[in-house]
Structure 1
Amino acid sequence: MPELSASGAALGALAAAAVFATLVRGAALALVYPLCAVAALVLGAVDLRVLLTGTELTQQLPIGLPTIGLHLRLDPLSAFFGIVVNGGILAASVYGMGFDRAKELTRRVEPLFPLFAAAMNLVLLADDAYAFLFSWELMSLASWALVVARHADPESRRAAHLYLVMAAIGTAALLFAFGGLAGPAGGYAFDTMRGHPPQPMVAALVLAAALIGCGSKGGLVPLHAWLPLAHPAAPSHVSALMSGVMTKVAIYGFVRIAFDLLGPPAWWWALPPIILGALTAVLGLLYAVLDRDLKRVLAYSTIENVGVIFVALGLALAFRANGEHEAAAVAMAAALLHALNHSWFKSLLFLGAGAVLHATGRRDLDGLGGLIHRMPRTAAFFLVGALAASALPPLNGFVSEWLLFQAVIAAPALPQAALHFASPAIGAMLALAAALAAACFVRVYGTAFLGRPRSAEAAQAHDVPLAQQIAMGGLAFLCILGGLLGSVLATALAPVLADLVGGGLPRAGSGPTVFSLVAFDPARSVYDAPVIALFVAIASLTTLVVVHRLSARRTRRGPAWDCGFPDPSPATQYTASSFAQPLRRVYGTAAFAARETVVMPPPGDSQPARFSVVLVDHVWRALYAAPGRAVLGLSERLNALQFLTIRRYLVLMFAALVILLAIAAVTT
């Protein structure tokens, strides 16, 4: 099997790069990222071949659990997610080639970067519970070590600690899920699980455990608390991998369990991912709109996109349970395409945020501004990513969300009343999330790149090295190409859709042109991206020509609008906080109990006026802060046990023995 041999060689190269980076210092570390880029190219080529041909490759190694071994399998589903993973690894590796070795913390990052990349690929290849959980934990620990690379920063340590706790909870949930799938016989190979699906009650518990285990890694509300802390704390190219790629490995885990290993679904399986996904999409963007940290805003946007993917997966489960294979294929195609598209535009945005951080040393939006004049290429690439994240045509983010809304429109035809009546509400929440996404990225781009510099660092910014521009430019090109060729990408998913939902896109290739994407009916559900792109280009050029023809030829200059304050200070500009004020007043009061406090000195008092905003994260307070305080208080009370005398220790041991004997006597 030459494909598996090539994959094994590429994974071996990643492992060798990790070992190499731990043994060398100085300029030799520059070889790590080229090795990772080559390995990602090889792995991506193998994945693409398997996806397009619909083949399946298996291998069993004499390691792992006794008498079971280590099972590896590369099928169309894992190949598709391998393309997602290795595309992100390639972009991050090229970006890493442009680091300044004298200033960046490369000695702490480069030994773990290839290990992280290899672990994500191993999760996709795992074909038994042991291999999956081992690779999953390796991925978690490698990413945790990358988050804590700047261990001198207390925020990095706090983010890493919370991430480690949530990763442990997620792994425990997945261990429970695979235990339920294995059953009393302990069949830990995935082929055995497929042949012996669990009973309905066990299946419900397995689905809940899969949602907890994979949802915690992906950032599904209310398991998202670690993500907006850990993703910004990591180095920027690692943030791109964690946000754009690692969350897709979590999506893969849920798809593998719910659509492959768990057996035929019941209709109500769709409700938890749909409801949690819709809440995640809206809350993620509400967090993003109100935050002022550039990388944290992007992390919250990732939470929103994960929610969108889970809504699509829930609809696919509902349609599949009712035998609507064509509609299930549309929903599943929306989920898979959005996973691919999000990996491209979110990796681009995080790399762009890394470029801004490299040039200015700042992440706070209110300290940026005017970067379009000092970082023109980064500004252009970031704009493409922002438009794609806002789901505007003809970029790639629109394609998958258009497919999702087609599935939502078809959902009222489902026979179950809960799904029938929930679909309009889900559609409204997704529409609200789409509007908030546009507002979020108008705010981010306008505050960071337009206007005048709000700080000396922003005024002295400069563009990043060529390698980092190439990485961002390649992802921007993919965002444009993925939007124009969305029908080609959807057609390539045919082997995956056939395996997961037993069908394909109902009218693939039946549109007016070869680039037309048809959801159900060519007469009413057709999206033709090149035609729309051509229309936008013609309309824009026509408007430009008409304006120049009708206006005076002489360039006119005048003072910028000063909001009624003729002060040249950049402080008179709109800030990120002022842009978010209307949305905060509309949604923040209900979602975050937002309170605004204004302290205005009386006339004649020279003290400055003060304005403050207090937001309450109810999810954090109820699910994390309150249990944390309870555990801390209990531990402080139990801490007295270590200061007892020997006589009291003997009394405690004797009492415990008596209680255990009493329990044994009652139960026998």
Structure 2
Amino acid sequence: MLLLGIVGMARSWLGRAHEVVHGGMALVCGAAALTVLVRLAGDGTDAETLALPVGLPWLRANLRLDALSAVFLLAVNLVGCLAALFGWSYARHEAEPGRVLPFFPLFIAGMNLVLVADDAFVFLMAWEFMSLSSWLLVLASHREEETRRAAYVYLVMASFGTACLLLAFGILAGQAGGYGFEAIRAHPLGAVPASFAALLVLLGAGSKAGLVPLHVWLPLAHPAAPSHVSALMSGVMTKVAIYGLIRVLFDLVGEPLWWWGAVLAVLGAITAVVGVLYALMQDDVKKLLAYSTVENIGVIVIGLGLALVFKASGVPALAALAMTAAMLHVLNHGLFKSILFFGAGAVLTATGERDLDRLGGLIHRMPATALFCLVGAAAISALPPLNGFVAEWMLFQAVLNGPLLEQWELKIGFAVIGALLALSAALAAACFVRFYGIAFLGRPRSPGAGQAREVDAVMLSAIAVPAVLCVVVGVLPKLAIAMIEPANRLTTGEGMFDAGGHGGWVWLAPASAFGNSYSGFMMFMTILILTILAVFMIHRYASNRVRRSIPWACGFTDPAPLGQYSASSFAQPLRRVFGGQIFGAREVVDMPAPGETRPARFTLEMRDPAWDRLFTPVVRLVGWLADRIEGLQFLTIRQYLSLMFFALVVLLVMVAVSQ
């Protein structure tokens, strides 16, 4: 991967560098994904370690591949292979593809290194490497003001996240000072320092994943990058942050406390609902998909929170069920979000448009892209028999078993979380009905949409592969769940079927779900048979006579394409219900008086409250502190010595107290 990055830098003398880099990355990532897949299909429980003589003087670079790393490596390299394949053709349509080439391989290499790191130094170095390379990819179109702002916000949030993780690993190392993960496991912390470490990891990894209210960078940075890079950032970089949460909370920090999981589940539920509501309001296709990633991260974090609660409460079977749902959704989201971002890139290539209200009618001009995007939209909406439904069904099974816990707070809390999860699922379906209906159905709303042509076979193959996998995993989910089982046992102490799960490869019947079962294959066959039967009945008994009539167009006899139902009008009812509190929405209607010839105007203003209620006060505080600290450069020698003496006394007191 590093060699391919060097090739990207040498693009000036290598004329076809984009084909070499993207083609090489497709091969490398494909080989890595296949290797990990073979390992997971086998036993997958043996960990492999490697110590390299580099790094800090007293610490070698320790690498380790275990079952948990393998699951996330599969997600990263599978999506990386598809993104490289899509980019091989997509780069031809980019204005300056050379700005992406040096950093695309380095970005994927950084994510892989995070997943195999076995000490804090390598983990943080790889984390920062991943962040900086993705930041440079966001800056690929740096001439646009919005892109520069997105890159700045992303860099600030990435620095904040790294600082939190640095402090967390400092606490985990403890007085022994062992930064290797094996040393951290051997010296578990007490409840108070462990809770501080868990909080810092939640802030550090949660900001990278996009948890509310630390999500503000994500809908700015992800759309600014090229489409295949956006698929990587949304589809797998956020999952690397999820890996960091799992690695610390389920592996390194020791025995968890149940309230850690409760906090995670509540944050996940809020993130899911807020993310999908924001997605519903977006007219920019890529920004809509970025906010949808926030929603899906919330769903995954709900699963992690429930698993942590069940593990701390001594119910490992239910912990395994919730963890399986979370990790299966990690794999699923990488697949259907790749379809949708690649589809958005194909639409952008064919039409030059990202605004929903300037698309339409693409199902006739881009039928293959429309078909694959329909699969992705149905999967992300959690419709059976596709893969998105399976993970959310399992998550609901875990929520419904919440009343088995002893704490009354959790009994009530699980009911509320279940309601919010159901609300987010319903809103996600509405969001992608809006997305697909406005973009692909109806009539073209702009010349670009009217003149669109299908993209080439390379782009289509990159979209088709995850679409097929969405169907396969949805119809036969136990194939994917079997690969997750070793990671389940590592994190929760039990596999989902260890307590007597049954059903073979057709029925998904986890023992921890107490009798509930689901068969994606039977659902698929039922839908297929009913579809064939409906088509037969229509063709057999319906009239063959052609009937033509003028469609209803609100009284207009010759409706223009712009008179169709728009993305804004679709979202208006939900905006008026939720907009005042969640979006800070303000509608201004300027209606001319009778006799005036000027047009009526409608203005909509929306602002993320996180900016006003969290980030703006923090920026002001940092500015105030900076002004105060600036005065330190004008102190006298005596004042400097006094300040150093005071700092030394404080440090000695801290050391004495910690002994």
Q: TM-score, normalised by structure 2?
A: 0.94
Report the Cα offset of residue 507 of structure 1: 6.9
Partner of residue 240, structure 2 = 249
Distance (Å, rounded) in 1 between the aligned partners of 2:643 and 2:111: 48
Matched, 1:610 2:601: yes
CA distance in 2, matches of 1:521, 1:130: 38
Distance 1:663 1:503 in 2: 49
Pair 1:664–1:308, CA change in 2 (3 A): closer
Q: Does the 8 Å contact 1:345/1:479 carry over to 2?
A: yes
- After superposing the two structures, state which structure 1 stretch, 318-327 or 551-560, moved more: 551-560
1:33 paired residue among 11, 15, 22: 22
Kindly indicate whether the alpha-carbon contact (under 8 Å) linking 2:7 and 2:17 is maintained by their aligned counterparts in 1. Answer: no
Cα distance change of structure 1 residues 100 and 125 upon mapping to structure 2, 3 Å threshold: closer
Match of residue 577 from structure 1 = 568
1:380 CA drift (Å): 0.7
**What is the 5 A alignment of 1:98-497?**
98-99=89-90, 101=92, 103-497=94-488
Given that 2:500 and 2:511 are in contact with CA atoms closer than 8 Å, whether structure 1 keeps it comes out as no
1:27-53 Cα deviation digits (max 9, x unpaired): 233111111111112211222233232
Q: CA deviation at 1:617?
A: 1.8
Contact persistence 2:47–2:65 (CA under 8 A):
yes
The equivalent of 2:4 in structure 1 is 17
* Structure 2 counterpart SS, 1:53: coil
Mapped partners of 1:330, 1:663: distance in 2: 50
Asked whether 1:53 is paired with 2:43, we answer yes
The amino acid across from 2:34 in the alignment is A
Amino acid across the alignment from 2:9: T
Query: Cα distance 1:45–1:662, how it changes in 2: closer, same or farther (>3 A)?
Result: closer
Alignment correspondent of 2:657: none
Change (3 A) 1:581 1:650: closer
Q: Does the CA contact (< 8 Å) of 1:508 and 1:517 recur in 2?
A: no
Secondary structure at the counterpart of residue 141 of structure 2: coil
Once the two structures are TM-superposed, the CA of residue 558 in structure 1 deviates from its matched residue by: 2.4
Deviates more, 1:626-635 or 1:416-425: 626-635
User: Quick one: structure 1 residues 663 and 338, their matched pair in 2 at CA, closer, same or farther if it must change by over 3 Å?
Assistant: closer
Amino acid at match of 2:304: L
What SS does the corresponding residue of 2:62 show, helix, strand or coil?
A: strand
Q: Deviations over 1:524-558 (max 9, x none)?
A: 41110111111111222222222333331123232
After superposition, the Cα gap between the structure-2 partners of 1:85 and 1:202, relative to the gap in structure 1 and judged at 3 Å, is same
**Cα deviation 1:490-529 (Å, max 9, x = unaligned):** 1222211111111111478854553211133788411101
Range with bigger deviation, 624-633 or 178-187 = 624-633
Which residue is 2:520 aligned to?
A: 529
Unaligned regions of 5+ residues in structure 2, if any? 654-659
CA-to-aligned-CA distance 1:464-487 (integer Å, 9 cap, x gap): 121110000011111111101112
Conserved? CA contact 1:289–1:297, under 8 Å: yes
Q: Are the equivalent residues in 1 in contact too, given 2:11–2:98 (CA < 8 A)?
A: no
1:53 partner amino acid: D
Mind listing any 5+ residue stretches in structure 1 that lack a counterpart? 1-13, 643-648
Deviation at 1:101, TM superposition (A): 3.2
Q: Is the 8 A contact 2:75 2:334 kept in 1?
A: yes
* Residues 593 and 158 of structure 1: CA distance in aligned 2, closer, same or farther (over 3 Å): closer
Q: How far apart in 1 are the matches of 2:589 and 2:360?
A: 26
Q: Deviations over 1:130-179 (max 9, x none)?
A: 11011111100000000001111111111111000000000011111111
Question: Secondary structure at 2:433's aligned position in 1?
Answer: helix
2:494 matched to 1:503? yes
Separation in structure 2 between the aligned mates of residue 407 and residue 662 of structure 1, nearest angstrom? 53
Q: TM-score, normalised by structure 1?
A: 0.93
Report deviation, 1:637.
8.5
The answer to whether the 8 Å contact 1:128/1:188 transfers is yes
Q: CA deviation at 1:634?
A: 6.4
Rate the CA distance shift 1:653–1:45 in 2: closer, same or farther, 3 A.
same
Give the 3 Å change call, closer, same or farther, for CA 322–152 of structure 1 in structure 2.
same
One-letter code aligned to 1:558: S
What is the alpha-carbon distance in structure 2 between the residues aligned to residue 663 and residue 283 of structure 1? 44
Q: 8 Å contact 2:139–2:151 — kept in the other structure?
A: yes
The 3 A distance-change label for structure 1 pair 181 and 98 is: same
Instruction: For residues 223-252 of structure 1, give each alpha carbon's deviation from its aligned partner in whole angstroms, at most 9, with x where no partner exists.
Output: 101000000000000000000011111111
The 5 A counterparts of 1:514-553 are 514-520=505-511, 524-553=515-544
| Partner AA of 1:212 in structure 2 | L
Tell me, yes or no, if the aligned pair for 2:318 and 2:512 is still in contact at 8 Å: no
Q: Which residue of 2 is the match for residue 44 of structure 1?
A: 33
Question: For 1:76 and 1:169, how far apart are their aligned partners in 2?
Answer: 29
Answer with 316-325 or 505-514: which moved more: 505-514
Any idea what the Cα deviations from partners look like across 1:76-105, whole Å, max 9, x if unmatched? 110111000000001001101213537442
1:601–1:609 CA contact under 8 A, matched in 2: yes
Matched-pair contact (CA < 8 Å) for 1:98–1:466? no
Residue by residue, what CA displacement relative to the aligned partner does 1:326-366 show, whole Å, maximum 9, x if unpaired? Answer: 10110000000000000000011111111111111111111
| Closer, same or farther: CA 415–235 of 1 in aligned 2, 3 Å | same
- CA deviation vs aligned residue, 1:275-325 (integer Å, no higher than 9, x gap): 110000000001000111100000000000000000100100111111111
Q: Which residue of 2 aligns with 1:596?
A: 587
Higher mean displacement: 302-311 or 355-364: 355-364
- Against the structure 1 CA distance between its residues 246 and 429, is the aligned structure 2 distance closer, same or farther, given a 3 Å change threshold? same
- Output the amino acid matched with 2:28: A
Return closer, same or farther for 1:196/1:569 CA change in 2, 3 Å cut-off. same
Aligned partners of 1:431 and 1:522: how far apart in 2?
18
Deviations 1:201-225, CA, capped at 9 Å, x for gaps: 0100110011111111110111101
Counterpart of 1:57, as a letter, is E
Distance 1:266 1:658, change over 3 A: closer
Q: Is the 8 A contact 1:27 1:101 kept in 2?
A: no
Q: CA deviation at 1:636?
A: 7.0
Give the structure 1 partner of residue 656 of structure 2: none
Does residue 63 of structure 1 match 2:54?
Answer: yes
Structure 2 CA distance for aligned equivalents of residues 342 and 554 of structure 1: 45
CA distance in 2, matches of 1:317, 1:424: 17
For residues 630 and 125 of structure 1, the distance between their equivalents in structure 2, rounded to whole angstroms, comes to: 38
Deviation at 1:664, TM superposition (A): 7.6
Q: Secondary structure at the match of 1:63?
A: coil
